[in-house]
Amino acid sequence: MGPLNLAAESFDSSANQLVILQYHHVDPKTPDSTSISPQQFLIHMEHLATNGYQIVRLEQAIDKIKRGIALADKSVAITFDDGYKNLARFALPELQKRKWPATIFINPGLLEKHSSHYLSWDELKHWSLQGMTIANHGWQHDYWIRREAGYSAKEWQQKIKTSILETEKSIKQQIGVSHKLVAYPYGEYDTWLQSWLIDNQFISFGQQSGVVASYSDFSALPRYPASGVYADISTLKQKLNTFALPIDYQKLPSPLAMTENPPQLHLSWLNESFAVDTRFACYVSGQGKAEILAEVKRVKIQAQKPLNLGRSRYNCTLPVKGKPNYYYWFSQPWLSLESLD
């Protein structure tokens, strides 16, 4: 979370962008909301292959972006959450055929208990030798920021830190390498956890949509869900044509930081010329357009009605000048756990 040193004149907001796709099940028979059928997955892979996308290793691409080393244009990373057994049957062979890497975020506490549902350590080891990265999704897929009764704040934080550290330790022991990549279960995070992960050199990923760029917050990197309602190829094509909205991501609130409902969100532009663009629009889960108030260097966004309990999003887009069908994209996740009166 260091300071940004982007000179306005040299700022190119389309440079060094990484789209990360997020899948769960790849199976014809698993629940619709988190699944993509093998046929549809194949359509995604064919589209990536025939349209010049560069499938990159997640940890290497992130490292390059952080160091300011150029990524290939149209770089895409593929990720799978939860490490389901069906990946070995329907998804990973398709990647292997194309010599493409992917990252599998796993829960050791679940895979050790339910061997018929999840890839085993032996299988993960096999796939890591085929070029797949095995990464951290927590010990047993707990809700990390929904503190259970009977825990003090400090005790709860300790429990979650232990879940992350034990998972990383197991990956290192079983697979032989630790990349310190964490995907938040359910995409839920909070400020204390982000700070702790940054202090401990972890890179962390949410489930809010968007693109990774040098100006991203590396404790809450966005990924595009590509399963369920997002599995359609036309949706995927649209997401692949996006860049990270050029705002100061270090100033964003955590999903839990709602002091009013609907919450007001302030975005600070990295380049003032964006502030006057009237094509900028934001949408609220289940509501339609949000109200937008443009100021000199920033913009205020607020839903018209209170957000529902649970997870919501403000999704914002802006067409890219001189690049038809391309959009800057940004998504702010919200988590409402109780009504704010």
Between 80 and 328, name the residue whose CB sits nearer to Zn ion.
80
* Minimum distance, C-beta of residue 301 to Zn ion, in the bound complex (Å): 28
Closest residue to Zn ion: CB criterion: 81
Least CB distance from residue 185 to Zn ion, whole Å?
5
Minimum separation from the CB atom of position 24 to Zn ion (A): 7
State yes or no: residue 188 binds Zn ion (CB under 5 A): no
- Which pair of tokens denotes residue 112? 């050790």
Handedness of CA 28, 32, 34, 40 (dihedral sign): positive
Which of 81, 217 has the CB closer to Zn ion? 81
**3-class DSSP assignment, residue 124:** helix
Is residue 91 within 8 Å of 26, Cβ to Cβ? yes
Cis status, amide bond into 101, omega within 30 of 0 = no
Nearest to 318 by CA among 309, 308, 307, 329: 329
Q: Which is nearer to Zn ion, 142 or 277 (CB)?
A: 142
Residue 112 or 248 having the CB closest to Zn ion: 112
In the chain, count H helices and then E strands.
9, 18
Beta strands in 100-254 (DSSP E): 103-106, 133-136, 181-183, 203-205, 224-225, 242-244
User: Between 81 and 168, whose beta carbon lies closer to Zn ion?
Assistant: 81
Footprint of Zn ion on residues 166-185 (CB under 5 A)? none
For residues 275 and 297, the answer to whether their CB atoms sit within 8 Å is yes
Using CB under 5 A, count the residues that bind Zn ion.
2
Restricting to residues 78-97, name those near Zn ion by CB under 5 A: 81-82
Helix-strand-coil split of the chain, %, nearest 5? 30, 25, 45
For residue 25, the minimal CB distance to Zn ion (Å) is: 11
Range in contact with Zn ion (rule: CB under 5 A) among 77-85, 123-131, 187-195, 198-206: 77-85
Query: Cβ closer to Zn ion: 27 or 81?
Result: 81
CB of 200 to Zn ion, least distance (A): 21
Interface with Zn ion (CB under 5 A): 81-82
